[in-house]
Structure 1
Amino acid sequence: MTNHPIEMFKYHTWANQTILGRIKELPSSVLSQEVNSSFPTIAHALSHIYAVDKMWYLVVTGTGMPEALQVTQQLNGSILHSVEEYAHSFDELAGQYREWFRSQTDLEQTILLDNPYAGIRHTRLSEIVLHLVNHGTYHRGNVSTMLRQLGHASTMNDYALFWYQAPRQDEMTSEV
């Protein structure tokens, strides 16, 4: 049986590496070229995706959301110098998530989420995973638009393409 939050996280990881792979094919200056979009540069968008992924990782591993936001706030504006640095950072964080997934016996368990912007609510771990994937998808769309504004084609990174390109493994033996 497929564990959908884990499958969606696999997609998220694949989609991040797919868009980063496309950016690697372009001149290195594309990261820092300013555009009139949701973020001033592609680097800012990538830093934001990473910071939010890291914030949610801290939350699911036991840090309160206010503290996790405080810890990752500087990451949101921290601009890396190369696509390779972003790829490495995303890959390293994905490895931390994979370890966390392996330690989980019930992604439907709830935690008390104290969101300083929205309030307190009981939230399933699976909901958090799906939110982080949805957030990444939204902002990869921003990156695709920014690439087009800069005169470059993006690359398809839809979930349906993931179905055909990512290797499928037996759920009982697959690594997250």
Structure 2
Amino acid sequence: MKNYPVEMYNYHIWANQTILGRMKELPSSVLSQEVNSSFPTIAHALSHIYAVDKMWYLVLIGTEMPEALKACIPLNERIMNTVDEYDHIFTQLSEQYREWFRSKADLEQTILLDNPFTGIRETRFSEIVMHLVNHGTYHRGNVSTMLRQLGRASIMNDYSLFWYQECDESI
């Protein structure tokens, strides 16, 4: 039986790598080209996805959410110059997550989450993982829209495509 929070996180990694792979096919200037969208550039969107993923990782390893947010605000504002730099930091963070998953037998375990935006709530690890995957999906959609506004094609990175990619890789 599959562990669905882990499966969804694997999808998140795959989808991030898929969009970064598409970005590597384009001229490097596309990363920092300004666009009228949710973020001023694709680099800003990627920095945001990374910063939020890192913040949730810190929460999962025991950092209180207000401190994790404070620690990751600078990451949200740190704009990389190349897609390879984004690829590197996303890969490093995914390895940290994988190690965390290996150390957790029960993803239904709860913590008391003190979310400064919404208050205190008992929250399962699995809910946090599902949220970060959903957040990444939302913002990869922003990146796809930004690419189209810049006259570039995006790339399919839907969960349903991941199913088939996963099957192909396991053969």
What is the Cα-based RMSD across aligned positions, in Å? 1.2
The runs of 5 or more residues in structure 2 that have no matched partner are none
Alpha-carbon offset, residue 166 of structure 1:
2.1
Distance (whole Å) between structure 1 residues aligned to residue 81 and residue 43 of structure 2: 8
The question of 1:61 aligning with 2:72 is answered: no
Question: Could you say which residue in structure 1 is the equivalent of 2:158?
Answer: 158
Give the secondary structure class of the aligned counterpart of 1:166: helix
Question: Could you say which residue in structure 1 is the equivalent of 2:147?
Answer: 147
CA pair 169-128 structure 1, distance change in 2 beyond 3 A: farther
Distance (whole Å) between structure 1 residues aligned to residue 54 and residue 151 of structure 2: 31
Question: Could you say which residue in structure 1 is the equivalent of 2:10?
Answer: 10
Distance (whole Å) between structure 1 residues aligned to residue 111 and residue 80 of structure 2: 33
**Higher helix content, 1 or 2:** 2
The runs of 5 or more residues in structure 1 that have no matched partner are 171-176
Distance (whole Å) between structure 2 residues aligned to residue 18 and residue 112 of structure 1: 34
TM-score (norm 2): 0.97
- Aligned partner of 1:73: which letter? I
Distance (whole Å) between structure 1 residues aligned to residue 143 and residue 74 of structure 2: 21
Give structure 1 regions of 4+ aligned residues with deviation exceeding 3 angstroms.
167-170
Give the secondary structure class of the aligned counterpart of 2:72: helix
Distance (whole Å) between structure 1 residues aligned to residue 26 and residue 168 of structure 2: 30
Alpha-carbon offset, residue 100 of structure 1:
0.1
Alpha-carbon offset, residue 168 of structure 1:
7.6
Alpha-carbon offset, residue 167 of structure 1:
4.7
Question: Could you say which residue in structure 1 is the equivalent of 2:115?
Answer: 115
Distance (whole Å) between structure 2 residues aligned to residue 51 and residue 167 of structure 1: 30
Distance (whole Å) between structure 2 residues aligned to residue 83 and residue 110 of structure 1: 36
Alpha-carbon offset, residue 103 of structure 1:
0.1
Distance (whole Å) between structure 2 residues aligned to residue 168 and residue 144 of structure 1: 25
Question: Could you say which residue in structure 2 is the equivalent of 1:91?
Answer: 91
TM-score (norm 1): 0.95
- Aligned partner of 1:6: which letter? V
Question: Could you say which residue in structure 2 is the equivalent of 1:71?
Answer: 71
- Aligned partner of 2:64: which letter? G
| Percent identical residues | 75
Question: Could you say which residue in structure 1 is the equivalent of 2:22?
Answer: 22
Count the aligned residue pairs. Answer: 170
- Aligned partner of 1:78: which letter? R
CA pair 104-168 structure 1, distance change in 2 beyond 3 A: farther
